[in-house]
Amino acid sequence: MQVNDIKIEKINDNLWEIPKTAGMNVPGRIYASEKIISQLLNDEALKQVVNVAHLPGIQKYSLAMPDIHWGYGFPIGGVAATDFYDGVISPGGVGYDINCGVRLATTSLNKNEISKRIKTLVENLFKDIPTGVGASGAIKKLSGKEIKNILTNGAEWAVQNGFGNNEDLLFTEENGRLKDANPNSVSKRAIERGLDQAGTLGSGNHFLEIDFVEKIFDQEVAEIFGLFENQIVIQIHTGSRGLGYQICDDYLKLLVQSEKKFGFNLPDKQLACAPIQSDEGQDYLSAMKCAANFAWNNRQIIMHLAKKSFQKTFNISEVELNFQLLYDVSHNIAKIEEHIIDGELKKVCVHRKGATRAFSSQNKTLPEKYFDVGQPVLIPGDMGRYSFISVGTSKAMDETFGSSCHGAGRLQSRNQALKIAKGKNLIEELNKAGVTIQAKGMKTIAEEMPFAYKDVSDVVDVMHNSGISKKVAMLKPIGVIKG
């Protein structure tokens, strides 16, 4: 099969391979159904899978998840592991929104209990959690000392300052903090951009969503995750805001200029990278960790603000609400991990760009509660249909460096979505689908309407049928706030 002059060989119904050709250090592999592959015919994402395979030190495969679409350098939905000692780190393999991720909290409430007050709840959430471009003011403006503390300690800062509790850290990837983050590797401009953005949602595809559990696929795992049918849960999707964007921008400029120094000859300047062990590589890794810590702190604060909105709306106590963090996952990050490659345990830098970590059971990084079942994998869909909770597997550890998909993946560009939305009453369409929405403007709603995205069930089914991450529950949205 040829797609945009790229030869693709079908391995099975859910897996395709791009054979290694001149310049590629490894083959490319795409997890996709026939339907999803056909949707890529006019997308440059497959070419980006090939480009990523040129990275020095890349291991096994240049990987793409079924939510693959074109991105900066790497495709969104791309995964690549590079040798820690001889490989590179690439900001394009992380993205501009460093540690964009999803946090999901459960409650004791059910759908029927909140249905009559959903509009008030959405209004209160929108009032209490700043949204939109440049959103600020969720908490007092940070001092330079405080923000550096956040960049070093991540979500720990939020807990220490009354935004949640220590148990929340146990259920956050990396306990909400990457070690060895040095604020000295972050520019003054990046720090300035973050001073008043802690606890803010931002714009674009970021959201806070009220869902109910519509269907459970694996009762045993669902019980361990604390899920039951018709239960109200809350998803928070955001990242490191302007601070993370600035860090990415700063280091891309630096590494593009450094390319000759390292002697790389890559097919795309957007793959600008540095050896992990170089000064430039270590500086970017440290700065990226700072942004990741800022993002975990951001989601921790937002979750606390959301809990207070629920209590205010329904006039109930913390005990009655039972607002519990199920898990927080990152899907734009580079992590130093150990994986078995060709029978040997190797230290690698795993770039996940629009991909979620999906570790299996018995992994020491998981909280004790999930040790025997595996890591929760949170996969939001579009705001009009559904989202999924899955669980990581041993096959993910064998095939994808413990990685799965991160969402639906766009079908339409934002400009295309705006054209299609012209003349439509989008809020009314969502209301008919049972979703109450509040946003800063109609433009964001138009850009993020369901027709702009793949059907997330198609994406999740590929991962489920491949054995990479297994479905646990399906969620249905009933309330959304956006920038």
Cross-strand partners of 333: 352
Encode pLDDT of 281-332 as tens digits. 999 999 999 999 999 999 999 999 999 999 999 999 999 999 999 999 999 9
Q: At 9, list the tokens.
A: 């060989």
Encode pLDDT of 233-290 as tens digits. 999 999 999 999 999 999 999 999 888 899 998 999 999 999 999 999 999 999 999 9
- Cα separation, 94 vs 173, in Å, equals 16
Q: Is 205 annotated as a binding residue?
A: yes
Q: Is 408 annotated as a binding residue?
A: yes
Q: Is 464 annotated as a binding residue?
A: no
- Cα separation, 163 vs 142, in Å, equals 15
Q: Is the dihedral of CA 72, 450, 412, 17 positive or negative?
A: positive
- Which candidate, 56, 111, 61, 108, places its Cα nearest to that of 84? 56
Would you name the residues annotated as active-site residues?
Answer: 406
What is the reported pLDDT for 171?
98
Encode pLDDT of 391-406 as tens digits. 999 999 999 999 999 9
Encode pLDDT of 80-120 as tens digits. 999 999 999 999 999 999 999 999 999 999 999 999 999 99
Q: Is 208 annotated as a binding residue?
A: yes
Which helix (H) or strand (E) segment holds residue 397: the answer is helix 394-399
Look at the chain and report how many structural domains it folds into: 1
Unique residue bearing structure tokens 């869902």: 211
- The count of other CB atoms within 10 Å of the CB of residue 25 is 16
What is the reported pLDDT for 137?
81
In this predicted structure, which of 160-164, 213-217, 437-441, 458-462 has the lowest mean pLDDT? Answer: 437-441
Residue 3 has pLDDT above 70, yes or no: no
163 pLDDT band, cuts 50/70/90, is very high
CATH number of the domain within which 58 lies: 3.90.1860.10
Q: Is 482 annotated as a binding residue?
A: yes
Provide the residue range defining the domain that includes 284.
2-482
pTM for the full predicted model? 0.96
The DSSP code for 345 is: E
Cross-strand partners of 471: 390
Encode pLDDT of 8-65 as tens digits. 999 999 999 999 998 999 999 999 999 999 988 878 999 999 999 999 999 999 999 9
Q: Is 97 annotated as a binding residue?
A: yes
